[in-house]
Amino acid sequence: MQSCEISADSTDDPLSSGLRRKRQPRIVVIGAGLAGLSAAKALLESGFTDVTILEATDRIGGRVQSVKLGHATFELGATWIHGSHGNPVYHLAEDNGLLEETTDGERSVGRISLYSKNGVAYHLTNSGQRIPKDVVEEFSDLYNEVYNLTQEFFQRGKPVNAESQNSVGVFTRDVVRKRVKADPDDTEAVKRLKLAMIQQYLKVESCESSSHSMDEVSLSEFGEWTEIPGAHHIIPCGFIKIVEILARSIPESVIQLRKPVKCIHWNQSVSKEIETVADHNSDLPEEDKGSDVFVECEDCEFIPADHVIVTVSLGVLKKRHESLFHPRLPEEKVMAIEKLGINTTDKIFLEFEEPFWSSECNSIQFVWEDEAESESLTYPEELWYKKICSFDVLYPPERYGHVLSGWICGEEALIMEKCDDETVAETCTEMLRKFTGNPNIPKPRRILRSSWGSNPNFRGSYSYTQVGSSGADVEKLAKPLPYAESSKTAPMQVMFSGEATHRKYYSTTHGAVLSGQREAAHLIEMYQDLLQCQS
């Protein structure tokens, strides 16, 4: 890696900071995902003219990534708009006619099929048996009852007891197990099936929360994540349409792609350096030399700014915060970054020549009978596929072809990412043969999958409240730097937005959009006099 040096004229111009106030503040947004684009759009619409977005990759959208194969669009990242009224993503989609009329049957409900009401989920075991519908229904009711209990700790301030280790996984497994074992109506065989189902449901839950396992997800904070009421919608022409609509109001020149940021020099650290550097070969305009912040890019360009809005994922912050900020982040901020959780949820799309599933089947859920008594859900490397919880059937086939969409999370998702397409396709097909009891399922025609965990620009799928963290850590993550006594006097050199900075809606597209708008609103308020003058 190159090291960049800044050399500059010495400047002792006492007017430089005065001059800065007269011109438009310079705002640099790092990341062209939903948070960054929403922030930039709001700033530009309020009259700011000096806004730049720096994006590491060669595309906008970040964790929204729609891939077109033939006529169909597949989502490697975000898929569902969760909830309707009050959800800014829903309103964008609705206002732009992106939501097709859906009958109840066609509507996707829930992020994964566990909560799907259309069609039937097939719960299959590794001995090739289908678990009877009534057993699945009974178990599902029991699981949902216990899920409801997990919500009460936050919502009603119910104290957690030590046995639960403040973990959703430990608590759920214990309570469901006790109830299954105590049920006098079930035979031993049915009890065993239900015990195995707990593990499968927890894998699904873990895919939904993008954790390694539910044992890492905080019980006392679980209920803080808030659901916006309403149906869950997909965007048939691709979620990327939302991104394109946001970007429409942003001039092309504002967005710089393939422009990875290496370090954010804040607290006037570069300005102070310029003051003490003696040589006279700076090409920086005089007015930039006193800038509070300099954004150093991997290509060695230093971009002066008054305000920087950082939207990179919590995963990127975890991995890189030490080198990404100069001076280093305050201890409180580092603690929040370390305590909050993010892990990997990946999707595996398999396209088959012909469906081998019945038309009523909306998903295949993998229940391993040998896991009935297991505690943790961590596997030796070669057994990574045991973490795949299910395959959803994409509907309707006229749109997608005969495609299954699989889910895997945690460490095992990272192992899957390292395998080649051939291995993953073969392993998944073998698994489908075993669980359906049909040894003749042919290999899929095509495979497509995500790799959010190992991608250096993401390092994970989305955030969750890890055991030991709380909503207060989300607030700490969002707090602008340097810290100030009151928000009125805060210089707001470095601001934070992105999915993980939204206390109630973290992990979602609407959380990302709202967090971008929130940080823009701080700057709009700060400069209201200037903005009013020019309008």
Summarize as ranges the residues that interact with ligand NAG (CB under 6 A). 141, 144-145, 148, 212, 267, 315, 327, 343-344, 410-411, 414, 453, 459-460
Cα–Cα dist 231/171, whole Å: 29
Residue 159, CA atoms < 13 Å, CB-side half-sphere = 3
The binder of ligand FAD chosen from 294, 325, 368, 458 (CB under 6 A) = 458
Cα–Cα dist 234/111, whole Å: 10
Cα–Cα dist 84/92, whole Å: 11
Sign, CA torsion 234/240/242/245: negative
The 8-class DSSP code of residue 459 comes to: S
64 binds ligand FAD (CB under 6 A): yes
Classified as helix, coil or strand, 184 is coil
Q: Where are the beta strands (DSSP E) in 62-168?
A: 66-69, 72-75, 81-82, 120-125
116 binds ligand FAD (CB under 6 A): no
82 touches, from ligand FAD, ligand NAG, none (C-beta below 5 to 8 Å by class):
ligand FAD
477 binds ligand FAD (CB under 6 A): no
Cα 90 to the center of its chain, rounded Å? 18
261 binds ligand FAD (CB under 6 A): yes
Cα–Cα dist 59/511, whole Å: 21
Among 78-86, 142-150, 217-225, 270-278, the segment contacting ligand FAD (CB under 6 A): 78-86
Mask for 15-44, x = binds ligand FAD (CB under 6 A): ---------------xxxxxxx--------
Ramachandran assignment for 322, one of left (phi > 0), alpha (psi -120 to 50 degrees), beta (any other): alpha
Mask for 396-435, x = binds ligand FAD (CB under 6 A): ----------------------------------------
Shortest distance in whole angstroms from residue 207 CB to ligand FAD = 9
Shortest distance in whole angstroms from residue 29 CB to ligand FAD = 9
Residue 154, CA atoms < 13 Å, CB-side half-sphere = 22
Spell 153-183 as b/e; 16+ CB within 10 A means b: bbeeeeeeeeebebbbbbbbbbbbbeebeee
The binder of ligand FAD chosen from 80, 201, 266, 368 (CB under 6 A) = 80
Shortest distance in whole angstroms from residue 272 CB to ligand FAD = 24
CB closer to ligand NAG out of 212 and 347: 212
Mark out the alpha helices in 167-313 (DSSP H runs). Answer: 168-182, 188-209, 240-248, 269-276
Ramachandran assignment for 384, one of left (phi > 0), alpha (psi -120 to 50 degrees), beta (any other): alpha
Shortest distance in whole angstroms from residue 523 CB to ligand FAD = 17
Beta strand 390-393 pairing with 345-352:
unpaired
CB closer to ligand NAG out of 13 and 138: 138
362 binds ligand FAD (CB under 6 A): no
CB closer to ligand FAD out of 110 and 355: 110
199 touches, from ligand FAD, ligand NAG, none (C-beta below 5 to 8 Å by class):
none
Shortest distance in whole angstroms from residue 141 CB to ligand NAG = 5
- List interacting residues with ligand FAD (CB under 6 A): 30-36, 54-57, 62-64, 77-80, 82, 111, 260-261, 311-313, 316, 345, 347, 450, 452, 457-458, 461-462, 498-499, 507-509, 512
